Amino acid sequence: MNDFANKIAKQISHVQKIGIGLLQEWPLLVNLVTTQVFLIYGQSLLSDLAHPVWFTLTVAWLILTIIFSLFAVVRHAESLADKLREPLGTLVLTLAVTSIEVMIIVATMSTGFGSPTLARDAMFGVIMIMLNGMVGLTLLIGGLKYKEQDYNLQGASSFLAVILPLAVIGLVLPNYTSSSPDQTFSTIQAVFLVVVSVALYGIFITIQNGRHRIYFRTAQPTAEAKDAKRKWRIIHEVHSVPYHVLLLLMYMGSLVILTQQLAVPIDFTIRVLGAPVALAGFLIALLVLAPESVAAVRAALSNDLQRSVNILLGSVLATIGLTIPAVLAYGLLFHKKIILGLDPIDVTMLSLTLVLSTMTFSSSRTNVLLGAVHLLLFFAYLLLIFQR
């Protein structure tokens, strides 16, 4: 009788946990309702953006829904990270965010609003935000709180060994090729880059989650990192892997439609303000990277710099290794012009960033100075968007 009662109690407890978990998914309800509304009334809702009040309300509704959904995606990705452990957990997070980035870029370009440089500007924005803005911020706040922080040098070096050649080939080399005009790749060059990028990224993933998995994990987690993980588990109920995968896919499915609707106000804002075209790419990168950036900062504050490095460098690598092939494949299939070659000013900023990142991650300990220098480059990038 006692065994039967214990089984019933366990089942009730399990149902209660699932119920509490579902209550946390209120952003999914908002997401689905907003998606349905914009599917039915999207054209009329976005037809009168010239009215300032209507524009503000509509765009705020759309952006807030996307942000709530993005944070929910990151929450489920982090739950998967807790179940799968590092570095596979962080890989899920970076792939989810990169997929959303590709969705927004392709959706914007497919609606006819995106310029041929949109993908380039968005990818360059990701590199500048992550390698300068967020690396600088995490190193700065980590250095202020802990003076110095440790991470696995072999893991960071592995990331950079793949990021450097792919960044230069994808974003600099098109300026010097002569088989196609305007900083673009010819069909053969584009196919070659797609195959090489995907293959190299695949090899890296195999190394990261196979024989050299230890490169991307800390030998001994700090007490602060253990305490942060314990508190996170108290706040966020972790369920089974299929549970989190299903909800992750549900959020991302609706985001495909919402990001396509976002293309119209982005283009309208750029045209009305007379802002540089590169601002659209920066805004897309900023929107997509917001939750991932929060996760990296939180990890640095809990003295888990290894997770921050995995998130930040992993996001840049996924952007270069997967977004470039995705947009090139889209351009080839739908005969869209894709300009990847950066302007001379941006090439200079990219070169500085890659060299500085190599120097920063040449030692297994970081400090405040390195963070300050990275932030300086990020602020220079922001200035150069508006003032060439």
pLDDT over 60 at 284, yes or no:
yes
For 2-386, CATH gives 1.20.1420.30
In this prediction, residue 14 carries a pLDDT of: 52
Task: Give the 3-state secondary structure of 328-383.
Answer: HHHHHHHCCCCCCCCCHHHHHHHHHHHHHHHHHCCCCEECHHHHHHHHHHHHHHHH
Q: Is the pLDDT of residue 9 over 60?
A: no
**pLDDT (0 to 100) of residue 136:** 95
Kindly state the average pLDDT of the residues 83-108: 75
Residues 290 and 133: their CA atoms lie apart, in Å, by 12
- What is the per-residue pLDDT for 219? 60
The CA distance from 324 to 94, in Å, is: 15
89 pLDDT band, cuts 50/70/90, is low
Q: Quick check: 11 pLDDT over 80?
A: no
What CA–CA distance (Å, rounded) separates 171 from 161?
16
Is residue 254 within 8 Å of residue 31, measured between CB atoms?
Answer: yes
Question: Among 187-201, 208-222, 267-281, which range has the highest average pLDDT?
Answer: 187-201
Q: What is the mean pLDDT of the chain?
A: 83
- Note the pLDDT of residue 120: 92
Residue 20 predicted with pLDDT over 60:
no
pLDDT tens for each residue of 161-183: 999 999 999 999 999 988 888 88
Give residue 193's pLDDT: 93
pLDDT of residue 126: 92
Buried b (16+ CB within 10 A) or exposed e, 361-383: beeeebbbebbebbbebbeebee
Considering the entire predicted model, what is its pTM?
A: 0.85
Q: What is the pLDDT of residues 112-135, one digit of tens each?
A: 556 788 889 999 999 999 999 999
Q: Identify the weakest region by mean pLDDT among 17-21, 264-268, 333-337.
A: 17-21
Q: What residues form DSSP beta bridges with 149?
A: 366
More confident residue, 344 or 213: 344
pLDDT at 145 over 90: no
The sign of the dihedral angle between the CA atoms of 229, 98, 340, 276 is negative
So what's the pLDDT on residue 367? 85
pLDDT score recorded for residue 81: 72
